[in-house]
Structure 1
Amino acid sequence: MYAIVDIAGKQFKVTQDQFIYAPLMEGEEGASVEFNKVLLTDNDGKVKVGAPTIKGAKVSGKILGHVKGDKVVVFKKKRRKGYKVKNGHRQDYTKVLIEKIA
């Protein structure tokens, strides 16, 4: 069984006992979270599609921690002008364990 869930404007395909890295959420480590915006569920070939969401469907999970993603290097240069700028960025994510799809 899997579901497609909208978390903070991004869509994730989730199954039970799966880890996902969602955009940074409020909450302590070990806190439980519920996602109510379930767009699609598939239960052994029986597909339910929401318009836009499925009423009564929930995906519950547990926050495992707050982590940072890989570093992205931003380099700007204008040729023949002596202008060079190098910056880095690491996006914040929340690691979530999907516990139940109902």
Structure 2
Amino acid sequence: MNYAIVNVQGKQFKLIENKYVYVPHISSMNLGDRIFLNQVFFFSKKGIHFFGDPFLENISVQVEILQHIKGSKIIIFKKKRRKGYKVKNGFRPIFSKIKVISFLEKKQ
């Protein structure tokens, strides 16, 4: 099983070939676009492990953007005791659903 650990907008995700992952919203990309993720920390292929320092320069991951969706609501509640101050706010974060197409290795 081939897999890679990549950086997507400051967060690390384990990507496995032909699997779906929800990542923070990738803006300025349309549905069906294929992009390359170049910030690969770790790559495993047939039991052989490659570690980056901090990134692997000869490995990139091709992914396809399938969907942009909203997540479940996150509640922010602020209160100061004995002051009568209470504020309740919330928001729904936006995620992008991506599918890993392939891992590309550049020959050195």
TM over 0.5: yes
- Aligned twin of 1:29: 31
Deviation of 1:31 (Å): 0.8
Q: Between 79-88 and 50-59, report the one with greater CA deviation.
A: 79-88
Distance 2:86 2:41 in 1: 45
1:20 Cα deviation after fit: 1.1
Q: Name the SS for the 1:97 alignment partner.
A: strand
Who is 1:88 aligned against? 90
Deviation at 1:6, TM superposition (A): 0.9
Secondary structure of the structure 2 residue equivalent to 1:4: strand
Partner letter of residue 78 of structure 2?
K
Cα distance in 1 for partners of 2:52, 2:82 equals 56
* RMSD value, Cα: 1.2
Residues 50-72 of structure 1 deviation map (CA, whole Å, 9 limit, x = unaligned): 11111221100110111111111
Work out whether 1:69 is the aligned partner of 2:71: yes
Distance 1:88 1:97 in 2: 29
Higher strand residue share: 2
Q: CA deviation at 1:82?
A: 2.4
**TM-score of the aligned structures, taking structure 1 as reference length:** 0.92
- SS for the counterpart of 1:80 is coil
Show structure 1 runs of 5+ residues with no match. Answer: none
Confirm whether residue 19 of structure 1 aligns to residue 20 of structure 2.
Answer: yes
- Give the partner amino acid of 2:55: T
Q: Match for 1:52 among 51, 54, 60? A: 54
